A = this chain, B = another copy of it.
Amino acid sequence: MVNEKPNYITIAHVGIMDPSSVSLGMSKVHYTNAGIKEKGTFSINMPSVRMVKETDYCGLVSGKKMDKARLFKTFFGKLGTAPMIEECPVNMECKLVKTVDLISHDIFIGKVVATYCDQDILIEGAVDLRKSQPILFSMLDRSYWTIGEKLASAWNIGNSLKNKK
């Protein structure tokens, strides 16, 4: 929420901090930073590949000039001040817990307090990566990519090296 209106921005610099905390690295020139600082909340909305145009658009124009929320159906969750996008298959509602000042960027560290997702991407109550069809981003070639094939199971395939010298 910025100036009492929902606003969405595409963020390239993100991170996972621990099992329930995430980070957004946002250049201080952005319009959205003030809203996160004021409300102490934000959301992460994971678009699927079919939303690639809207996703890119939100990184091309500023909320200072354009009402980007008009592109989506907005809903609110338990925090009440973190707007979320109904069209996104996964939405995470976050409470700001720490802001790290990195000269040109504000790093907003948030605790995920609730996750909302489409029923049809769930398998046994958990989000299925393939079904959610995430958009991957690479700064190297300034491009969006899809996810490929499952390669191996983690905490598993490495066992074969355990007894080797």
Contact = CB atoms under 8 A, between A and B. Distances in A.
Interface of A: 12-19, 21, 23, 25, 27, 49, 52-61, 71, 98, 100, 102-105, 107, 109, 126-129, 135-138, 140-162
A151 B53 contact: no
Interchain residue pairs A-B with the least CB separation, the first 8: A15-B15, A56-B158, A57-B158, A146-B148, A148-B148, A18-B105, A144-B151, A57-B161
B52 A152 contact: yes
Given A23-B23, A55-B158, A142-B154, 15 more contacts: A13-B15, A14-B16, A17-B23, A18-B25, A52-B152, A56-B154, A56-B159, A57-B162, A61-B162, A71-B161, A142-B153, A144-B151, A145-B148, A147-B147, A148-B148
A49 B149 CA distance: 11
Contacts of A154: 56, 59, 137, 142-144
B158 A140 contact: no
Nearest to A127: B140
B140 A52 contact: no
